[in-house]
Structure 1
Amino acid sequence: MPPLDSDMADLLDRLARAKAPDYPEMGAVLSRAFVDKNLPVIDVKPLPVHEMQDIHVDGWQGASLNARLYFPHQTSWASPLPVLLWFHGGGFTIGSIASYDAVCRTLCAKADVVVLSVEYRLAPEAKFPTAAMDAFSAYQWLLSHAADYGLDAQKIIIGGDSAGGTLTAATCLMARDAGMVQPLSQLLVYPGTCGFGETSAYTQYATGYRLTKPIIDWFFGNYLSSDEERNDYRFAPLYAESHAGLAPAWIAIAQYDPLADDGRLYAEKLRKDGTPAELVQYDGVIHGFLNFGGVIARAHELHDGMVAAMQRVI
Structure 2
Amino acid sequence: MPLDPDMADLLDRINRAKAPEYPEMGVLLARQFVDANLPVIDVAPMPVHSVQDITVDGWQGADLAARLYVPSEPIWAKPMPVLLWLHGGGFTIGSLKSYDAVCRTLCAQAEVAVLSIDYRLAPEHKFPTAAMDALSAYQWLLAHAAEHGLDAQQIIIGGDSAGGTLSAATCLQARDLGLPQPLLQLLIYPGTCGFGETPAYQTYASGYRLTKPIIDWFFGHYLNSDVDRRDIRFAPLYADSHAGLAPAWIAIAEYDPLADDGRLYADKLNAAGTPAELIQYDGVIHGFLNFGGVLKRPHELHRDMVQAMRQVVS
- For residues 266 and 274 of structure 1, what CA distance do their matches in structure 2 show? 13
> SS of the residue aligned with 1:313?
coil
**Equivalent in the alignment of 1:97:** 96
> SS of the residue aligned with 1:106?
helix
> SS of the residue aligned with 2:311?
helix
> SS of the residue aligned with 2:34?
helix
Q: 1:198, CA displacement in angstroms? A: 1.1
- Matching of residues 186-225 of structure 1 within 5 Å: 186-225=185-224
- Percent identical among aligned pairs is 77
Extract unaligned runs of 5+ from structure 1: none
Q: 1:206, CA displacement in angstroms? A: 1.0
Q: 1:77, CA displacement in angstroms? A: 2.6
TM-score relative to the length of structure 2: 0.99
- For residues 16 and 141 of structure 2, what CA distance do their matches in structure 1 show? 44
**Equivalent in the alignment of 2:84:** 85
**Equivalent in the alignment of 1:41:** 40
Q: 1:281, CA displacement in angstroms? A: 0.2
Whether the 8 Å CA contact 1:253–1:260 is kept in 2: the answer is yes
- For residues 59 and 27 of structure 1, what CA distance do their matches in structure 2 show? 26
- Matching of residues 49-64 of structure 1 within 5 Å: 49-64=48-63
- For residues 57 and 16 of structure 2, what CA distance do their matches in structure 1 show? 43
Deviations 1:219-254 (A, max 9, x none): 000000100110000000000000000000000000
Q: Which deviates more from structure 2 when the two are superposed, residues 70-79 or residues 120-129?
A: 70-79
> SS of the residue aligned with 1:216?
helix
Q: Does 1:258 align with 2:257?
A: yes
Q: 1:47, CA displacement in angstroms? A: 1.4
Q: Does 1:247 align with 2:250?
A: no
- Matching of residues 164-203 of structure 1 within 5 Å: 164-203=163-202
Q: Does 1:23 align with 2:19?
A: no
Extract unaligned runs of 5+ from structure 2: none
- For residues 45 and 282 of structure 1, what CA distance do their matches in structure 2 show? 22
Whether the 8 Å CA contact 1:175–1:181 is kept in 2: the answer is yes
**Equivalent in the alignment of 1:9:** 8
Whether the 8 Å CA contact 1:49–1:72 is kept in 2: the answer is yes
Structure 1 ranges of 4+ moved more than 2 A:
none
Q: 1:76, CA displacement in angstroms? A: 3.1
Letter of the structure 1 residue corresponding to residue 273 of structure 2: G
Q: Does 1:236 align with 2:250?
A: no
**Equivalent in the alignment of 1:159:** 158
Whether the 8 Å CA contact 1:77–1:147 is kept in 2: the answer is no
Whether the 8 Å CA contact 1:195–1:230 is kept in 2: the answer is yes
- For residues 121 and 104 of structure 2, what CA distance do their matches in structure 1 show? 23
